[in-house]
Chain A
Amino acid sequence: MSAGEIRSSKAEELRVVHQPLPRHDQQEKIAGSTRYAGDLAFADMLHARLVRAPVPSAKITRRDAATAAAVPGVVCVLFGEDVPHNVIWVDVPGQTVEVAALKASMEVLATDRVRFHGEPVALVVADSEEALGEACDLVDIEYEELPGVFDPAEALAPGAPAVHAQGNLLGEWNIDRGGVDEAFAAADVIVEGSYRTQAVDHAYLEPEAGLGWLDDEGVLTLRVATQVVEHYRDVARILGIPDSRVRVIAPYVGGGFGGKEDMTVEPYLALAVWRTRRPVRMQWTRQESLLARPKRHAMTLRYKTAARGDGTIVGQEVDITADSGAYAYLSALVLLYSSVHACGPYRVDNVRLRARCAYTNNPPTSAFRGFGGMQVVFGYESQMDLLARRLQISAADVRKRNALARGDVLPVGQPIETEVLLAQTIDAVCDRAGDKPHPSRPRRAVGRGIASNIQSYGRLVWLNDSAAAWVGWQLDGSLTVRCGVPDIGGGQASSLAQIASEVLGTPMERITVHFGDSSLTPLAGTTTATRQLLMSGNAVYEACTMLRAGVLGAVAEATGQPADGLRLEPGAVTAEGFEMDLREALVTCRRRNVPIEALGTFFGPKGKPVVRDLRADRVFPDFTFGTHLCDLEVDLDTGKVRLLRYVAAHDVGRAINPRSVEGQISGGVVQGLGMALLEEVTLDNGVNLTGGLFQYLIPASTDVPDIETVILESGEGLGPFGARGIGEPPIGPPSAAVASAIHDAVGSRPVVLPITPERVLACVDAAGQPGWIP
């Protein structure tokens, strides 16, 4: 795979930004010296492990720690009563009290009821892993199983067992725009489809882990694999201590994808440290992670799409039912994303959308790359293909005909304010792919599919998002950046260095970024929602802009040089016929009381909070658009699919580091292909049967082809230098592109994910393929 293609529409003279620089964090990772959350140890540390419920719905009738506590090496066994404030609150935004509680809660350790297989009930702390293993088996807990409900539609039907006292409807969103019934009545064609997506696990390579200790001031310090250092506040609340007495440090994280967005080990580590006053390490097993960490919401999507004979969409009716699992976590927000994104990157004037998420006794569901915007791609892109086939228009043309443009308004009411390069992304992948290949042998069929998507970047605007970053010169001209952003592998920290280098001229190797410390670095918010380039990137940009103005201004005043002729070069301030060593310039600043350190704060776009009946002129800051193309070959007798070719094009605004962008696209696509073809958290009446990586199948190197990338740069993003976010968008299209390609190959379309060989064979049968060995 040679370097991906870049097509820029707004040229800008950039020196460092836009260069495919090797990232400096990668050097240590490749040397093997990076210390992840599980790699540090204290000599006298203890170990902690959870005891979890073996059943999905039960009353806890008995809890006894005596035998476990007597195991040599065990320091304590804790139940819910030992937690000072045994509750974690989650906002359920936009819902009136008639629908659901405004806040939802869950216990840190369950006391009287468990609601999902794997729910934590006890915490054991011991001086060795071996003692822990023995003791955990000896914690005596009895359960009396209760009826449970394991399907969201059933959960919403009358008479379903109540997962929580207030009922099983957790949240709902409605969009009503224009006149749907009239539009449908006047339409030339109506296409209907029903789609199902499955529960999926993040399956990052690094299972959840952390180390906690009390520092010399008695501050509870947690060094944990997390996407959010701001959870120090949640920990403080649980322990009943001031926020300022808790510190969360995020080392480099071995993959997050939203799975380390909610708290994982934090509350338990904190509890163990706070109780024992000793350092404690917690390492979850992979099997524990697969069992109990929140998953991607499984959804049922029903679409009715009305169009004119020329392919123009005149109306959409969408019904979404999502499985929130046993606890709310971020479910209402995920469903909000689904609702806003549900009609795709297309202009639709008449929309009726009903989306609901329900509690069940399945594992909880929460954030996962794409955050609800991803599942709906399968729905709306399948519909586009069905429409194209019905009207005998090409897949590319039907998308271009309906593509959003600047000035169009999304169904929720938000106008598109930037250029949309959707048509260009469609052309890019089709041009790149050329002709469809022929089958490699008899009993094989080749198919091609395309899929486009829209995915927001930046957080919901009413959350008053902000990020801060501190940038300061050292006296020798090297640069220090401090920013609370966690780096989960997408080059979050490295991008900040690149931006600082661009603005201040400092060479990359003279810039040090300290990140991810809730006490020592200015808070920059979550590494989620594809927001960090926009938020912390802009914060760094702002701080650097202030510094630049300061130093050039000080030099101008001191020397009489015109300020607007001065430039910052590596190690010097220069102008036509003038040069001053940077170190001297910095001394000049100090002499003139000009700061050589700056705190930049970037405030995200604002908006009003939304309510259940969704209508807002702004929900997200902005959106990223893209199109993917997939060629594949189907074995008509076994249903196995071999991916031949995959091309992905996105408008990223500006690629701060093109290699990083390609990497995000390539990784996102493969994760999306995993959901399309391989991955499923298998539940049997709430019992999670996914026992390990031998069962939870994620793509390996031989399961995917080279992912070819085409980067388009409109320069119209809200991030620094016109960048758009790219972390999440690439994960959306793959399942739709694969389904379309299979439809093309065999004549019938899979509508349930994952697309297993068995489901492919069902399509082969449905299409009445000739020649099948009878």
Chain B
Amino acid sequence: MFTRAFRYERAERYSDACDLLRDHGEQAKVLAGGQSLLPLINLGLAQPGLVVDISRLAEGRDITVTDDGYLVLGALVTHARLAADPGARAAQPLLPAAAGQIGNSRVRNRGTLGGSLAHADPAAELPLVMVALGATYEVTTGQESRAVRAEDFHLGFFTTGLDDDELIVSVRAPVLGPGWGWSFQEVSRRDGDFAMASVAALVRSADGLIIESRVAVGGVGDRPLRLADVETALTGCPVAAPAERVGPIQGISPADDTSASAQYRARLTRVLVIRALAEAAGRAGKEAE
């Protein structure tokens, strides 16, 4: 709260913001919602020389569904808006459901999609869902843009593929297609706390069998992880009995910390994967009816 002074610049356009980042290098930090950056500054864990405020850009705020089946979200869409948007809820309900679980209502009023993705907290909801969906992020330097797949973007603890002068402009996620069901599960010590483990799952079924699935887990590694083994094992599984195909979860490295032990997290992950699959399969079944 009682922090060192830092300089402040408000950007009008993405290009201005990127210019400022280029000019000031490591000394500059991006301020969108501020819900991750400002606590770090208040606690003395970050001491930028300059804060580049992009929270009032005219760009980056749209929510659209394209004709070829994608939900496109501007990076400055707040969590509150994403959680409540009827178009988003119809097109890809997994996203608004996850956004609605973030923190508390104040955090959701200010926090942004782009901010959450760029911050890359391994326990955060939105990076997890983006990896599960196979979303892509449009990233700009102000002069040129490129598309990065979510699973290539999130590289480790609070580490992403963003260059120092790059900003996320928008995110593109597939809409929920016919025959697909979804589920988002997380368990935390209290509502709104960071999850001890979380799961985002999508399941497509036909004639009572799982044809395809996408399962990702969060909070049990340095980034969201797709469970390829589980997805393979589920193919052809009866919709009512996914639990039988899910053994102990491999490939995760959960932390031991003040909230929970690694062992508990691993056990919890399996429970949540099974619950997520049951819920997603159930929704897929309903879809088919």
A and B touching (Cβ–Cβ under 8 A): yes
**Interface assignment of B264: CB less than 8 Å from any CB of chain A:** yes
B136 to chain A, nearest CB (A): 31
With A and B bound together, what is the CA distance between A607 and B111 in angstroms?
60
With A and B bound together, what is the CA distance between A283 and B1 in angstroms?
11
| Interface of A: prevailing SS | loop
Q: Are the C-beta atoms of B258 and A287 separated by less than 8 Å?
A: no
**Interface assignment of B187: CB less than 8 Å from any CB of chain A:** yes
Contacts of A134 in B (CB 8 A): 4
Q: Can you name the residue of chain A whose Cβ is closest to the Cβ of B275?
A: A637
**Interface assignment of A521: CB less than 8 Å from any CB of chain B:** no
Name the segment of B142-150, B164-172, B189-197, B212-220 touching the other chain.
Answer: B189-197
With A and B bound together, what is the CA distance between A700 and B193 in angstroms?
11
Which chain A residues (676-695) contact chain B, with CB distance < 8 Å?
678, 680, 682, 689-692, 694-695
Q: Are the C-beta atoms of B2 and A283 separated by less than 8 Å?
A: yes
Which chain B residues (242-289) contact chain A, with CB distance < 8 Å?
243, 258-261, 264, 267-268, 270-272, 274
Q: Are the C-beta atoms of A682 and B258 separated by less than 8 Å?
A: yes
Q: Can you name the residue of chain B whose Cβ is closest to the Cβ of A129?
A: B2
With A and B bound together, what is the CA distance between A555 and B278 in angstroms?
84
| Interface of B: prevailing SS | loop
Question: Could you tell me how many residues of chain A have their Cβ less than 8 Å away from some Cβ of chain B?
Answer: 31
With A and B bound together, what is the CA distance between A457 and B1 in angstroms?
39
A73 to chain B, nearest CB (A): 11
Q: Are the C-beta atoms of B193 and A773 separated by less than 8 Å?
A: no
Q: Are the C-beta atoms of B258 and A680 separated by less than 8 Å?
A: yes
Q: Are the C-beta atoms of B191 and A702 separated by less than 8 Å?
A: yes
Q: Are the C-beta atoms of A638 and B268 separated by less than 8 Å?
A: yes
Q: Are the C-beta atoms of A773 and B243 separated by less than 8 Å?
A: yes
A62 to chain B, nearest CB (A): 23
Q: Are the C-beta atoms of B187 and A761 separated by less than 8 Å?
A: no
B258 in complex: contacting residue of A285, A695, A761, CB < 8 Å: A695
A691 in complex: contacting residue of B43, B189, B243, CB < 8 Å: B43
With A and B bound together, what is the CA distance between A53 and B182 in angstroms?
50
**Interface assignment of A270: CB less than 8 Å from any CB of chain B:** no
The number of inter-chain residue pairs (CB within 8 angstroms) is: 65
With A and B bound together, what is the CA distance between A692 and B193 in angstroms?
13
Q: Are the C-beta atoms of B4 and A702 separated by less than 8 Å?
A: no
B43 in complex: contacting residue of A637, A690, A692, A700, CB < 8 Å: A692
With A and B bound together, what is the CA distance between A134 and B264 in angstroms?
42
Q: Are the C-beta atoms of A287 and B260 separated by less than 8 Å?
A: no
Q: Are the C-beta atoms of A697 and B190 separated by less than 8 Å?
A: yes
What bracket does the count of chain B residues touching chain A fall in?
20 to 34
Contacts of B2 in A (CB 8 A): 129-130, 132-133, 283, 285
B260 in complex: contacting residue of A283, A692, A695, A756, CB < 8 Å: A756
Q: Are the C-beta atoms of B264 and A130 separated by less than 8 Å?
A: no
Which chain B residues (125-176) contact chain A, with CB distance < 8 Å?
none
Contacts of A130 in B (CB 8 A): 2-5
Contacts of A689 in B (CB 8 A): 258
Contacts of B191 in A (CB 8 A): 700, 702-703
Q: Are the C-beta atoms of B190 and A758 separated by less than 8 Å?
A: no
Q: Can you name the residue of chain B whose Cβ is closest to the Cβ of A637?
A: B271
Q: Are the C-beta atoms of A638 and B187 separated by less than 8 Å?
A: yes
Q: Are the C-beta atoms of B190 and A640 separated by less than 8 Å?
A: no
Per-residue A-contact encoding for B29-60, CB less than 8 Å = 1, 0 else: 00000000001000110000000000000000
Contacts of B261 in A (CB 8 A): 758
A690 touching B258 in the complex, CB below 8 Å, given contacts A697-B189, A700-B191, A703-B190: yes
With A and B bound together, what is the CA distance between A248 and B191 in angstroms?
41
With A and B bound together, what is the CA distance between A702 and B189 in angstroms?
11
Q: Are the C-beta atoms of B193 and A697 separated by less than 8 Å?
A: yes
Contacts of B194 in A (CB 8 A): 694
Q: Are the C-beta atoms of A773 and B271 separated by less than 8 Å?
A: yes
Q: Are the C-beta atoms of A133 and B3 separated by less than 8 Å?
A: yes
Q: Can you name the residue of chain A whose Cβ is closest to the Cβ of B267?
A: A761
A773 touching B258 in the complex, CB below 8 Å, given contacts A678-B190, A757-B264: no
B121 to chain A, nearest CB (A): 11
Which chain A residues (631-670) contact chain B, with CB distance < 8 Å?
637-640
Q: Can you name the residue of chain A whose Cβ is closest to the Cβ of B42?
A: A285
Per-residue A-contact encoding for B182-216, CB less than 8 Å = 1, 0 else: 00000101111110100000000000000000000
Per-residue B-contact encoding for A693-718, CB less than 8 Å = 1, 0 else: 01101011011000000000000000
With A and B bound together, what is the CA distance between A761 and B267 in angstroms?
10
B191 to chain A, nearest CB (A): 5
Contacts of B274 in A (CB 8 A): 773
Q: Are the C-beta atoms of B270 and A773 separated by less than 8 Å?
A: yes
B187 in complex: contacting residue of A132, A640, A703, A773, CB < 8 Å: A640
Contacts of A773 in B (CB 8 A): 243, 270-271, 274
A757 touching B260 in the complex, CB below 8 Å, given contacts A129-B2, A285-B2, A678-B189: yes
A758 touching B264 in the complex, CB below 8 Å, given contacts A132-B2, A133-B4, A691-B43: yes
Contacts of B260 in A (CB 8 A): 756-758
With A and B bound together, what is the CA distance between A280 and B3 in angstroms?
18
With A and B bound together, what is the CA distance between A287 and B2 in angstroms?
12
Contacts of A639 in B (CB 8 A): 264
Contacts of A758 in B (CB 8 A): 260-261, 264
A702 touching B190 in the complex, CB below 8 Å, given contacts A758-B261, A773-B271: yes
With A and B bound together, what is the CA distance between A4 and B2 in angstroms?
43
A698 to chain B, nearest CB (A): 9
With A and B bound together, what is the CA distance between A64 and B274 in angstroms?
59
Q: Can you name the residue of chain B whose Cβ is closest to the Cβ of A756?
A: B260
With A and B bound together, what is the CA distance between A130 and B7 in angstroms?
13
Which chain A residues (118-141) contact chain B, with CB distance < 8 Å?
129-130, 132-134
User: What are 8 contact pairs spanning A and B, CB under 8 A?
Assistant: A129-B3, A130-B4, A285-B1, A285-B2, A287-B43, A697-B193, A757-B187, A758-B261
A638-B187, A695-B258 are known; give 12 further A-B pairs, CB within 8 A: A130-B5, A638-B268, A638-B271, A640-B187, A682-B258, A695-B259, A697-B189, A697-B190, A757-B196, A757-B260, A761-B264, A773-B271
* A interface residues (Cβ-Cβ under 8 A, vs B): 129-130, 132-134, 283, 285, 287, 637-640, 678, 680, 682, 689-692, 694-695, 697, 699-700, 702-703, 756-758, 761, 773
The 7 closest A-B pairs by CB, nearest first: A129-B2, A758-B264, A682-B258, A637-B271, A702-B191, A133-B4, A130-B5
